[in-house]
């Protein structure tokens, strides 16, 4: 599925992280990829994160999954919305919605959340810390956008929802199936279903906070530091006031931290693993039986299709003309030559064409990825 009525260069220059953009009939031949019953079925599974948000006269109510199978037949009259996270991890046809957005680096992709709402249903006025494309899949939804928010923006009192206490809409649109709205980070917005059977696909792009980066990087570095690596001041001289922390001591202390943290190569390796860590680590995608390089060669020779797991995250960092570090689901693989070529291919393509005559190193890499559940072969039943 390709985007239409959409110019990538214009979008990145004039709208990306700047202002909302509505694209009417953004999809060439739009077809809703998930029906409501299938979405409800996913919400009943133990390993799928989902929520139901209901707007009653008294307050906003929040329920978390898993839901019993009869939950959706017992819905009351109050407007409600079902939100299911990471549907792209479970349904390849939803994962395909990400393909037209590959002009944004893969490491920024979060997931595709799918919502279903009855007439008047919505999640209330709110803002996100990430970019999102809101694709109308079924039915109609009214979207309103407002001001730019920050950490000081007043919120309603609620334990589980971050809803704006004072939302003032500045723009409004009603989206039909195949329409798409881009909303930048921190822009206030609200969506309300217009009629029943309203389905929206939220394609989200994450951005790590400074606090998350510092905490994660420091925690990783600390594991290799020894207790003997301590502050030293062999040129200590008397000072006028023993209560003063001198400028020289502060510089030396800060230098200990800066010297340790300022390692670009190590930071790159850490971030690749940190950023590709599974979104839902509790789900085990590994095969029942591990494979060897010989198994991989045999399956490739037989022409068995090979593809990425839609739930897996892949990225790579170049290390010269013919070498890369491949990151997959929190693991790091040093790759060279044709193994590096495969590493770049698996980061770019969902379906992988690999010649059986690749090197042993490439076969070992594919076997390692297969055994982690990051890639898989499509065997005939």
pLDDT at 182 over 80: yes
| Of the candidate ranges 12-16, 72-76, 323-327, the one whose mean pLDDT is the lowest | 72-76
pLDDT at 171 over 70: yes
pLDDT at 295 over 80: yes
Per residue in 355-367, pLDDT (tens digit) is 889 999 999 999 9
Q: What percent of the chain has pLDDT over 90?
A: 82
pLDDT at 381 over 70: no
* Residue 156: partners with Cβ closer than 8 Å, 6 or more residues away: 60, 124, 163, 164, 165
pLDDT category at 77 given cuts 50, 70, 90 is: confident
Q: What pLDDT is attached to residue 75?
A: 65
Q: What is the mean pLDDT of the chain?
A: 93
CA distance 86 to 94: 9
pLDDT at 2 over 80: no
DSSP output for 53-108? EEE-SS-EEEEES---TTGGGS--SS-EEEEES-GGGT-HHHHGGGGGGTTS-GGG
Place of tokens 């003032």: 168
CA gyration radius, the chain: 25
Q: What pLDDT is attached to residue 321?
A: 86
Q: Find the mean pLDDT for residues 193-200.
A: 96
Confidence (pTM): 0.90
Q: Find the mean pLDDT for residues 323-350.
A: 95
CA distance 381 to 376: 15
C-beta separation of 41 from 64 below 8 A: no
Q: What pLDDT is attached to residue 1?
A: 67
SS3 209: coil
CA distance 119 to 141: 9
């Amino acid at each position: 599925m390709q985007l239409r009525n959409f110019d990538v260069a214009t979008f990145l220059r004039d709208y990306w992280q700047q202002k909302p953009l509505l694209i009417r009939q953004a999809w060439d031949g739009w077809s809703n990829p998930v029906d409501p019953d299938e979405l409800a079925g996913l919400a009943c599974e133990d390993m799928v994160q989902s929520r139901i948000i209901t707007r009653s006269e008294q307050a906003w109510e929040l329920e978390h999954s898993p839901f019993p199978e009869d939950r959706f037949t017992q819905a009351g009259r109050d407007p409600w919305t079902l939100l299911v996270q990471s549907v792209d991890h479970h349904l390849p046809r939803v994962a395909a919605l990400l393909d037209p957005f590959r002009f944004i680096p893969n490491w920024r992709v979060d997931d595709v959340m799918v919502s279903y709402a009855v007439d008047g249903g919505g999640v209330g006025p709110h803002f996100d810390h990430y970019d999102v494309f809101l694709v109308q899949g079924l039915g109609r939804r009214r979207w309103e956008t407002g001001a730019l928010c920050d950490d000081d923006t007043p919120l309603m009192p609620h334990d589980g929802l971050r809803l704006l206490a004072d939302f003032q809409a500045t723009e409004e649109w009603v989206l039909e199936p195949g329409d798409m709205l881009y909303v930048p980070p921190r822009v206030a917005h609200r969506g309300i279903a217009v009629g029943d059977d309203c389905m929206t696909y939220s394609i989200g792009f994450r951005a790590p906070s400074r606090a998350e980066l510092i905490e994660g990087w420091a925690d990783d570095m600390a594991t290799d530091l020894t207790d003997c690596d301590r502050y030293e001041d062999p040129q200590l001289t008397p000072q006028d006031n023993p209560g003063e922390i001198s400028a020289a001591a502060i510089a030396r202390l800060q230098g200990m931290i800066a010297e340790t943290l300022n390692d670009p190569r190590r930071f790159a390796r850490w971030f690749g693993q940190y950023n590709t860590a599974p979104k839902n680590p509790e789900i085990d995608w590994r095969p029942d039986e591990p494979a060897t390089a010989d198994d991989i060669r045999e399956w490739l020779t037989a022409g068995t299709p090979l593809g990425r797991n839609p739930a897996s995250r892949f990225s790579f960092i170049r290390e010269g003309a013919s070498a890369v570090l491949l990151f997959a689901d929190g693991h790091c693989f040093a790759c060279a030559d044709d193994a590096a070529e495969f590493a770049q291919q698996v980061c770019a393509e969902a379906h992988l064409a690999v010649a059986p005559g690749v090197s042993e190193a490439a076969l070992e890499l594919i076997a390692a990825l297969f055994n982690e559940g990051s890639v898989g072969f499509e065997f005939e039943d």
